[in-house]
Amino acid sequence: MTDRGLGDDIPVYVISVAAELSGLHPQTLRQYDRLGLVSPGRATGRGRRYSMRDIRTLREVQRLSQEEGINLAGIKRILELEDEVEKLREHVFHLRNELDAARSAVARRSGGETGGGELLPVRRARVTIFNTSPPPEQDQ
């Protein structure tokens, strides 16, 4: 169990504790660090410091490797994609908040929340541009 006051991203565990918490050998943790699967923080003396998020990732790497039979290159790609998905979800969350705020602002400007503040579709106009320059001369 973790102390929620510390936060999941604060690197506090030395490699021996992280190895015990994750059920892996310290050499395995060093190998995963070299491969870029789990990159722990570093203390001033260059010692590795693992966060609780790192420990969970180590457990997931072990599960994917042992239970699913996925090689380390595949696991690295899975972790990268999961990280990208999480960032995109966060971005979508912020965009939705911005959209809600913009809709509220439009509703307030156009008569309040109840008085005709809904957005209406706008017709698109078609524009035709005629080429007014003479055609290029062709060599014979």
Are 13 and 21 in contact by the 8 Å Cβ rule? The answer is yes
- Looking up tokens 């001369």, which residue turns up? 137
What dotted CATH number matches 13-109? 1.10.1660.10
- The mean per-residue pLDDT over the stretch 67-85 comes to 96
**Alpha-helix residue ranges (DSSP H) falling in the chain:** 15-22, 26-35, 52-66, 72-109
Using CA atoms, how far apart are residues 77 and 16, in angstroms rounded to an integer? Answer: 26
pLDDT-wise least confident of 27-41, 79-93, 121-135:
121-135
Q: Which structure tokens are listed for 35?
A: 């491969």
- The mean per-residue pLDDT over the stretch 82-110 comes to 93
- Segments making up each domain of the chain, as ranges: 13-109
Are 11 and 51 in contact by the 8 Å Cβ rule? The answer is yes
Asked if pLDDT for residue 3 goes beyond 60, the answer is no
Q: Give me the percent of the chain exceeding a pLDDT of 70.
A: 83
- The mean per-residue pLDDT over the stretch 37-48 comes to 88
Distances (CA, A) of 69 to 58, 75, 104: 15, 10, 50
DSSP 42: E
**pLDDT grade for 122, boundaries at 50, 70 and 90:** confident
**pLDDT grade for 138, boundaries at 50, 70 and 90:** low
pLDDT value of position 119: 65
pLDDT value of position 2: 47
